[in-house]
Structures are given as structure tokens and as C-alpha cells.
Amino acid sequence: MANKYSGLERRKFKRVKANFIVIYKISYPLQTRMMIGDTEVHAVMSNLSENGMALLTNYNIPFATSLAMKFILINENAISDTERIKQIEVNGEVRYSMWSERGECRLGICFTDISEADRRTIANFVRMQVGPGTAA
């Protein structure tokens, strides 16, 4: 990406690097679902926050497209066994879509429907990645 953003951080929630496989399906609009098909698609998560994520995929998904996503969050530092390995299911909306130099499309996703338990699990993961004593 030749033009890197150099302004102030506007995100409300801290994002951390993450490398998990995400399975997503287009919910709407119908035109985009027809373009990709009515199947589940695999992508790679590149970062995560309790409010959203970035995905690397082979498809240029348009702005405002709604996605149903699921992934396994592995948090080796979690105290509780239930948070160490947890399947997360969330709905989100594409906020941006851009091609990278490596030929992958990077999608910025904002969560639109996530359970409070899954949000807490993600928030704990982010906090543990950032480090003790650091506000996430």
C-alpha cells in the first residue's frame, strides 16, 4: 500500500495483530452474494478488536456488504479453559476494501451483531496481547 495513513488514530478500540482463519458468507446485498456465490469463503484475519477486524481475502467485497463470520479464537494466555479456545460467530459490515501489493483484498469489518460473551472474550484476548498495565 503506497499511501499509508499518517493521521491520528480514530478507532475507539485497540486492534492487535491476529492470524486466524475466518469463514464468512455474504448475507446481503443479493448482487454481491450472487457474485461470490452462496457458499462459505475462507479468509485470513490480520487484526482484531472487540469492535471489528481486518480480513485478507481473494474477493473485493463492496462497502456496506453484510457478512456472517465464524472463527476459532485461540488465546494461549487465557486463565479460563472456556476462553482458551472459543468459537466466535459474529455479523459484520464491510467499512473498506482495498487491494494489497500481494494481490489480496484487505477488508475492514465493523461488527454489527456479536454476543456480549464473545465481545468479552475478544476484549480479553486484545488486552493480553497488548500486555499488562496497558489500556486496550
Using the predicted structure, report yes or no on whether residue 88 has a pLDDT greater than 70: yes
The correct answer on CATH 2.40.10.220 for the domain covering 16-130 is yes
Burial of 118 (0-12, 13-18, 19+ CB in 10 A): middle
As a whole-number percent, the residues of the chain with pLDDT over 90 amount to 62
Give the mean model confidence (pLDDT) for residues 120-134.
81
pLDDT of residue 10: 55
User: Domain spans of the chain?
Assistant: 16-130
- Top pLDDT among 78 and 87 is at 87
Using the predicted structure, report yes or no on whether residue 93 has a pLDDT greater than 90: yes
pLDDT of residue 80: 78
pLDDT of residue 101: 87
